[in-house]
């Protein structure tokens, strides 16, 4: 079966760029992804960040939908523990009303930022996310029109989410653990493993998801995808040069240096790497596919086979927007997405 590719875009803010420029780049990339034949275009949610501009996927999706006409658009993802399921349902009913039949509601449970932003987003909820996540999903399913009505004794049993539209979004749970896979299987949602966050255990999580999947309030058939960092350059050597910058960027993040701009080659060459740094770089490379076209094609096909799926989401964060665009364009050509 032909491999389908989707895009996860995090609206990265390049060195010397503004957040407004990064958002315009996201719109331009969405239009290009549609032209090139990508299956989906998802946007992420991050808070209190000077390096990623996408803090509100619902708002950004409204703009992306207006700039495209065919490609599926979705959240990768809405961080449900921060929000009221009722409000999330209404946001995505609006999106379905605007762009019927091509909206994906991807749901995550990560904080999307540091503890201070999490406290600000859910200041009235003292519970930890896992304590109420399954119940929040059931409420969301009822409001969005995919699940049964809430129990008559529920305080919001009489509520209906508006607007009342004829279609509902496709629902995915996004995760980097076995827990997320288990909840997706129990609730009937699609499952997308965030391999770009956790390079270990994804294939096992997908096996468990497929084994235990049952139709539920969020869907009636299993859907699987996985998301991975990809750096596809004109040659293996050029890709490795670019990957060195990503290696340092991931090190910065692991050391809590979240506000650092994307590294330059000069910084990567001058950085005083210790043994721990080199170990982390080796480990982080499990999250990234790096190479020229032929190497990347072979590795992406093997990656998809390992996940038992014919659809992979790719995220190409590179030092320059034009290089990022060319990476996506090369992938589209390699996999003949328009055929």
Could you tell me if 245 and 262 are in contact, meaning their C-beta atoms sit under 8 angstroms apart?
A: yes
pLDDT-derived band at 21 (thresholds 50, 70, 90) equals: very high
pLDDT for the residue numbered 258: 78
Burial of 234 (C-beta count, 10 Å sphere; 0-12/13-18/19+): exposed
pLDDT for the residue numbered 114: 61
pLDDT for the residue numbered 242: 95
Instruction: Answer whether residue 123 shows pLDDT above 60.
Output: no
- In 3D space, the residue among 179, 285, 303 whose CA is nearest the CA of residue 240 turns out to be 285
d(CA 282, CA 201): 17
Give the domain ranges of the chain.
4-238+289-334
Tokens of 202: 């994804």
pLDDT for the residue numbered 149: 80
* Residue owning tokens 């991807």: 106
Burial of 274 (C-beta count, 10 Å sphere; 0-12/13-18/19+): exposed
Q: CA dist 20 to 23, 52, 80, Å?
A: 5, 11, 25
Instruction: Answer whether residue 213 shows pLDDT above 70.
Output: yes
Instruction: Answer whether residue 254 shows pLDDT above 60.
Output: yes
Instruction: Answer whether residue 130 shows pLDDT above 60.
Output: no
Just give the CATH number of 4-238+289-334. 3.20.20.30
List Cβ neighbours of 145 (8 Å cut-off, separation of 6 or more). 93, 161, 168
d(CA 198, CA 18): 29
pLDDT, average across residues 308-328: 95
């Amino acid at each position: 079966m032909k491999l389908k590719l989707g895009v996860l875009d995090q609206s990265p803010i390049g060195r010397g760029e503004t957040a407004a420029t990064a958002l315009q780049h996201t719109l331009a990339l969405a239009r290009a992804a549609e032209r090139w034949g990508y299956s989906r275009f998802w946007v992420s949610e991050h808070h209190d960040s000077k390096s990623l501009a996408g803090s509100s996927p619902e708002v950004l999706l409204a703009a992306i939908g207006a700039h495209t006409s065919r490609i599926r658009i979705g959240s990768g993802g809405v961080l449900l523990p921060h929000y009221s399921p009722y409000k999330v349902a209404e946001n995505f009913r609006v999106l379905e009303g605007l762009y019927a039949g091509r909206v994906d509601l991807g749901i995550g449970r990560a904080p999307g930022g540091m503890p201070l932003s999490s406290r600000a987003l859910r200041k009235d909820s003292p519970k930890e996310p896992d304590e109420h996540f399954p119940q929040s999903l059931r409420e969301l399913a009822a409001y969005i029109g995919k699940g049964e009505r809430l129990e008559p004794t529920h305080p919001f049993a009489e509520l209906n989410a508006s607007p009342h539209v004829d279609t509902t979004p496709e629902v995915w749970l996004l995760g980097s653990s076995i827990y997320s896979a288990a909840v997706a299987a129990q609730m009937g949602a699609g499952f997308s493993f965030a391999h770009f966050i956790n390079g270990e255990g994804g294939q096992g999580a997908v096996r468990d998801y497929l084994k235990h999947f049952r139709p539920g309030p969020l869907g009636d058939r299993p859907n699987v995808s996985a998301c991975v960092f990809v750096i596809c350059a004109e040659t293996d050597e050029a890709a490795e040069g670019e990957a060195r910058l990503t290696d340092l960027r991931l090190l910065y993040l692991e050391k809590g240096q979240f506000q650092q701009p994307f590294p330059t080659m000069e910084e990567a060459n001058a950085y005083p790497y210790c043994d721990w740094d080199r170990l982390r770089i080796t480990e982080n490379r499990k999250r990234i596919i790096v190479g020229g076209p032929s190497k990347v094609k072979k590795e992406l096909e093997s990656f998809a086979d390992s996940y038992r799926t014919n659809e992979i989401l790719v995220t190409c964060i590179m030092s320059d927007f034009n290089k990022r665009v060319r990476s996506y364009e090369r992938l589209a050509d390699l996999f003949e997405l328009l055929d």
